[in-house]
């Protein structure tokens, strides 16, 4: 399934780039994120607890940065497993600056398997779109804050 | 196909239920009718560690009319709504929606509050609540709060209820004089989940002018869709065919359905237009004030 | 994870009280069939779509696969075994027999429960009302036609009897088979 869209950040591109790849900030923005650690410069490990109504599960996953073009684009791959199934995919984010704001265009291809996949496309797409939206809303708040010294 | 083990608690009061939900925050689920929850548990898609059974809370089972509001307790069975003369008179749209929920056996257990809290976007009650600008009343550890329909449904099966809040009442406005309504849905078989559903109500002056219109769609997104644009088209008209046609195409344009196993997005959009027209014509006829065109 | 203790429940089924210990997750359908050995209630889908597990719970039909046995503590159940009294089939059961309303019989308990509830609410149903009432129960054998005919026949027989012998004003028995 596809998760794609665009969000505008009221901040310069360098700042947006910085927060998108800062594990401490990302950890606070991903809904249900219980743990996010940078294993090395290009690898993050996370534990997420995601609940949709009665259906909830804890997922352990890894995200790898595959490509960086500072500060305009990065591409990544990710995989995660939990009791309810697995998630795998690739994605990319493009950042462009216009009129003093930064527009982030994201595009991910996600494969869902196992028990969770049987729930149905409309639930998965609706929920993932919603959770991604929540994450970007929180990121927007961090973007306008001063960068950490 | 058997559920995972869980701890069972039969709540003795609303406060007791809220306390249990809080004590096991995130791991406890409310058991009301069980018609949506238990299938999920039998598939092991849902595996709550704790179930708080609220079926003994008979104080949550009531249908009352106070001034201009119809208040329905969260535990009220859908079959009780179906059989209620008070609902038939005060809010016929709710009755029309209820008759389309599953089957009678499901409605004997399914509850009004449960259907709202489950928030399936193809279900009948969420679309009805959104069309009528109804309200959810919920109780949590900090007391009671009222949540407008527009703020309640967030996305598929997600609401703004906290993990330790319990729906206690559902409120809808009593239908004003001169109102006709219809709830129509398309499904492959009777009682199946809807592909597309329409909740429609129009209020007409004695001279036949449409004073108010309410329109909400089920099945075209993660939440029910209120068709503000279509409603604006209808207000002030005499609900002629041209006005209805324009409202129908406005609704179809506003809808953003997705492809799924049962129908493509394109098909659903086309059905929105068909069913909005049918629902508006039926609602118009039921006002008793406008001669059918 | 520590073991979840079983809960003692008492359920009255077809007029007889039964006391048993059950895990909370025990489905009512499994409780009836395995703990009480009343195997007339069938299990088809275990997610509430086929209707084969339909029983009467406190006077209303309910899907036993969507109910936990612990919820039935203190409740009154009627299963298919509770319809015929003393070996005499109910009017509805007799109609199914006379009008070929069953072949393999797997859906039949659910059909009888749903049709029975319809006839209590609507003694003279239209064909549309009958089809709607049984829409929640799936049959793989009959194509439904003879099931509908059976229900029609039962309704007609009851109406004919009530015209011949008007019902007495005595109170009707509660939570037992009626049609």
Q: How far is CA B99 from CA B13, B71, B96, in A?
A: 30, 19, 6
The per-residue pLDDT for range C11-37, each reduced to its tens digit, is 999 999 999 999 999 999 999 999 999
Q: Given phi > 0 = left and psi -120 to 50 = alpha, else beta, which region is B46?
A: beta
Q: Closest residue of B to A84, CA-based?
A: B45
Three-class HEC string of chain C:
CCCCCCEEEEEEECCEEEEEEECCCCEHHHHHHHHCCCCCCCCCCCCCCCCCCEEEECCEEEEHHHCEHHHHCCCEEECHHHCCECCECCHHHHHHHHCCCCCCCCCHHHHHHHHHHHHHHCCCCCHHHHHHHCCCCCCCCCCCHHHHHHHHHHHHHHHHHHHHCCCCCCCCCCCCCCC
C133 to B104: CB separation less than 8 angstroms, yes or no: yes
The values of phi and psi at residue A37, to 5°, are -130, 145
Average pLDDT across chain A, whole number: 88
Does residue A55 lie within any of the structural domains?
yes
Asked if pLDDT for residue A51 goes beyond 90, the answer is: no
Q: Distance between CA atoms of A51 and B49, rounded to whole angstroms?
A: 13
Q: Which of C23, C46, C135 sits opposite B191 (nearest CB)?
A: C135
- How far B106 CA lies from chain C's nearest CA (Å)? 7
A129 to B260: CB separation less than 8 angstroms, yes or no: no
Q: Sort out which chain C residues have CB atoms less than 8 A from B108's CB and list them.
A: 57, 60-62
Query: What is the share, in percent, of chain B residues with pLDDT greater than 70?
Result: 99
Average pLDDT across chain C, whole number: 93
- How far C164 CA lies from chain B's nearest CA (Å)? 30
B103 to C136: CB separation less than 8 angstroms, yes or no: yes
How would residue B151 be classed by pLDDT, with cut points 50, 70 and 90? very high
Asked if pLDDT for residue A19 goes beyond 60, the answer is: yes
Query: What is the share, in percent, of chain B residues with pLDDT greater than 90?
Result: 92
- How far B119 CA lies from chain A's nearest CA (Å)? 8
How would residue C96 be classed by pLDDT, with cut points 50, 70 and 90? very high
Q: Closest residue of C to B39, CA-based?
A: C47
Q: Given phi > 0 = left and psi -120 to 50 = alpha, else beta, which region is B191?
A: left
More confident residue, B149 or B293: B149
Report the SS3 class of residue B239.
coil
Q: Which CATH architecture has domain B7-53?
A: 2-Layer Sandwich (3.30)
In chain C, list all ranges with CATH 3.10.20.30: 7-82
Domain count, chain A: 1
B5 to C4: CB separation less than 8 angstroms, yes or no: yes
**Contact criterion met (CB below 8 Å) for C60 and B33:** no
**Contact criterion met (CB below 8 Å) for A42 and A120:** no
Tell me the average pLDDT across C42-56. Answer: 97
The per-residue pLDDT for range B16-31, each reduced to its tens digit, is 999 999 999 788 999 9
How would residue B154 be classed by pLDDT, with cut points 50, 70 and 90? very high
Q: How far is CA C15 from CA B274, C18, C176, C178, in A?
A: 51, 10, 8, 14
Does B3 touch chain A if contact means CB atoms closer than 8 Å?
A: no
Does residue A148 lie within any of the structural domains?
no
Interface of A with B in 21-80 (CB under 8 A): 49, 51-56
Q: Which of B6, B53, B105 sits opposite C62 (nearest CB)?
A: B105
Please give the residue range of the domain that contains residue A60. Answer: 2-143
Do chains C and B meet with 3 or more Cβ pairs nearer than 8 Å? yes
B157 to A56: CB separation less than 8 angstroms, yes or no: no
Per domain, the residue ranges of chain B are 7-53, 58-173, 179-286
Q: What is the pLDDT of residue B75?
A: 98
Does C63 touch chain B if contact means CB atoms closer than 8 Å?
A: yes
Q: What is the pLDDT of residue C178?
A: 40
Q: Sort out which chain C residues have CB atoms less than 8 A from B190's CB and list them.
A: 131-132, 135
Q: What is the pLDDT of residue A148?
A: 56
Does residue A149 lie within any of the structural domains?
no
Asked if pLDDT for residue B186 goes beyond 60, the answer is: yes
Q: What is the DSSP letter of B122?
A: T
- How far C33 CA lies from chain B's nearest CA (Å)? 15
Q: Closest residue of B to C59, CA-based?
A: B108
Tell me the average pLDDT across B48-54. Answer: 96
Does A120 touch chain B if contact means CB atoms closer than 8 Å?
A: yes
User: CB contacts < 8 Å between B and C, how many?
Assistant: 91
- CATH number of the domain at B179-286, out of 3.40.50.10490, 3.30.1360.200, 3.30.390.50, 3.40.50.720? 3.30.390.50
Does residue A81 lie within any of the structural domains?
yes
Q: Distance between CA atoms of B75 and B57, rounded to whole angstroms?
A: 8
The per-residue pLDDT for range C100-156, each reduced to its tens digit, is 999 999 999 999 999 999 999 999 999 999 999 999 999 999 999 999 999 999 999
- CATH number of the domain at B58-173, out of 3.30.465.10, 3.60.15.10, 3.40.50.720, 2.40.50.60? 3.30.465.10
Q: What is the pLDDT of residue C171?
A: 47
How would residue A123 be classed by pLDDT, with cut points 50, 70 and 90? confident
Tokens describing residue C147: 């099931």
Pairing of strands B196-204, B179-186: antiparallel
How would residue C79 be classed by pLDDT, with cut points 50, 70 and 90? very high
Q: What is the pLDDT of residue C169?
A: 63
The per-residue pLDDT for range B216-274, each reduced to its tens digit, is 999 999 999 999 999 999 999 999 999 999 999 999 999 999 888 889 999 999 999 99
pTM, 2 dp: 0.92
Q: Distance between CA atoms of B172 and B130, rounded to whole angstroms?
A: 10
Q: What is the pLDDT of residue A55?
A: 82
How would residue C175 be classed by pLDDT, with cut points 50, 70 and 90? very low
Does B28 touch chain A if contact means CB atoms closer than 8 Å?
A: no
Cis amide linkage into residue A71, ω under 30° from 0? yes
Interface of B with A in 52-81 (CB under 8 A): none
Q: Sort out which chain B residues have CB atoms less than 8 A from C136's CB and list them.
A: 102-106, 191
* CATH code of the domain containing A77: 3.30.530.20
Q: What is the pLDDT of residue C93?
A: 98
Does C65 touch chain B if contact means CB atoms closer than 8 Å?
A: yes
Q: Sort out which chain B residues have CB atoms less than 8 A from A54's CB and list them.
A: 29, 36-37, 40-41, 45-46, 48, 157
Q: What is the pLDDT of residue C177?
A: 42
Tokens describing residue B46: 């849902």
Q: Which of B1, B38, B103 sits opposite C66 (nearest CB)?
A: B38
Does A117 touch chain B if contact means CB atoms closer than 8 Å?
A: no
Q: Distance between CA atoms of B191 and C63, rounded to whole angstroms?
A: 15
Tell me the average pLDDT across C73-85. Answer: 97
C60 to B79: CB separation less than 8 angstroms, yes or no: yes
Does B44 touch chain C if contact means CB atoms closer than 8 Å?
A: no
**Contact criterion met (CB below 8 Å) for A26 and A146:** no
Q: What is the pLDDT of residue C173?
A: 46
Where is average pLDDT lowest: A60-69, B239-248, C160-169?
C160-169
Does C14 touch chain B if contact means CB atoms closer than 8 Å?
A: no
Q: What is the pLDDT of residue C174?
A: 42
Domain C7-82's class? alpha beta
**Superfamily the domain C91-163 falls into:** [2Fe-2S]-binding domain (1.10.150.120)
Q: Which of A56, A84, A127 sits opposite B156 (nearest CB)?
A: A127
Pairing of strands A101-113, C7-13: unpaired
Q: Sort out which chain B residues have CB atoms less than 8 A from C113's CB and list them.
A: 105
Q: What is the pLDDT of residue C172?
A: 47
Where is average pLDDT lowest: A74-78, B276-280, C34-38?
A74-78
Does residue A109 lie within any of the structural domains?
yes
Q: Distance between CA atoms of B14 and B61, rounded to whole angstroms?
A: 12
Asked if pLDDT for residue B172 goes beyond 90, the answer is: yes
Tell me the average pLDDT across A19-25. Answer: 89
């Amino acid at each position: 399934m596809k998760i794609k869209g665009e969000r505008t950040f009221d901040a310069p591109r360098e700042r947006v780039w910085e927060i998108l790849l800062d594990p401490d900030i990302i950890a606070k923005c991903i809904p249900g994120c219980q743990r996010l650690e940078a294993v090395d410069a290009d690898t993050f490990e996370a534990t997420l607890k995601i609940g949709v109504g009665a259906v909830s599960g804890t997922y352990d996953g890894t995200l790898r940065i595959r490509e960086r073009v500072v500060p305009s684009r990065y591409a990544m791959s990710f995989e995660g497993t939990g009791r309810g199934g697995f998630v795998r995919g690739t994605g990319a984010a493009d950042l462009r600056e216009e009129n003093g704001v930064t527009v982030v265009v994201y595009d991910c291809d996600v494969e869902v398997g196992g028990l969770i996949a049987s729930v149905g496309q409309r639930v998965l797409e609706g929920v993932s779109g919603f959770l991604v939206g929540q994450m970007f809303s929180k990121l927007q708040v961090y973007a306008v804050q001063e960068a950490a010294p | 196909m058997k559920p995972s083990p869980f701890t069972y608690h039969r709540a003795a009061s609303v406060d007791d239920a809220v306390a249990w939900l809080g004590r096991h925050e995130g791991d406890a689920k409310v058991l009301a009718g069980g018609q949506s929850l238990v299938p999920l548990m039998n598939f092991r898609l849902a595996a709550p560690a704790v179930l708080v059974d609220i079926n003994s809370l008979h104080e949550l089972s009531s249908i009352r009319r106070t001034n201009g509001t119809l208040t329905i307790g969260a535990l009220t069975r859908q079959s009780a709504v179906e059989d209620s003369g008070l609902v038939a008179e005060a809010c016929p749209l709710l009755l029309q929606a209820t008759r389309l929920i599953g089957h009678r056996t499901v409605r004997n257990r399914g509850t009004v509050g449960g259907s709202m809290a489950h928030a399936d976007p193809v279900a009948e009650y969420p679309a009805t609540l959104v069309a009528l600008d109804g309200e959810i009343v919920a109780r949590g550890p900090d007391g009671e709060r009222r949540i407008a329909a527009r703020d309640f449904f967030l996305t598929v099966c997600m609401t703004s209820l906290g993990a330790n809040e319990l729906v206690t009442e559902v409120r809808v406005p009593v239908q004003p004089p001169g109102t006709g309504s219809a709830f129509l849905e398309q499904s492959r078989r009777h009682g199946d989940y809807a592909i597309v559903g329409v909740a429609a109500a129009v209020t007409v002056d004695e001279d036949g002018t449409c004073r108010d219109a309410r329109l909400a769609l089920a099945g075209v997104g993660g939440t029910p869709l209120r068709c503000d644009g279509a409603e604006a088209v209808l207000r002030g008209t005499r609900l002629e065919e041209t006005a209805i046609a324009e409202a129908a195409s406005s609704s179809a344009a506003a809808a953003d359905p997705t492809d799924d196993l049962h129908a493509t997005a394109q098909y659903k959009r086309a059905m929105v237009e068909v069913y909005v027209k049918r629902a508006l014509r039926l609602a118009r006829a039921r006002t008793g004030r406008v001669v059918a065109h | 994870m520590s073991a979840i203790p079983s809960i003692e429940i008492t359920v009255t089924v077809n007029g007889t009280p039964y006391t048993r210990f059950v895990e909370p997750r025990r489905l009512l359908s499994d409780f009836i069939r395995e703990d009480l050995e009343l195997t007339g209630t069938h299990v088809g889908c275990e997610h509430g779509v086929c209707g084969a597990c339909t029983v009467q719970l406190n006077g209303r039909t309910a899907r036993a696969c969507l109910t936990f046995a612990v919820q039935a503590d203190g409740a009154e159940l009627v299963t298919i075994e509770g319809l015929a009294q003393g070996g005499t089939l109910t009017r509805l059961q007799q109609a199914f027999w006379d009008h070929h309303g069953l072949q393999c019989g797997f859906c039949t308990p659910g059909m009888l429960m749903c049709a029975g509830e319809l006839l209590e609410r609507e003694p003279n149903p239209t064909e549309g009302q009958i089809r709607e009432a049984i829409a929640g129960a799936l049959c793989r054998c009959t194509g439904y036609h003879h099931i509908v005919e059976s229900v029609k026949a039962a309704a007609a027989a009851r109406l004919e009897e009530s015209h011949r012998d008007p019902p007495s004003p005595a109170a009707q028995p509660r939570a037992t088979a009626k049609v």
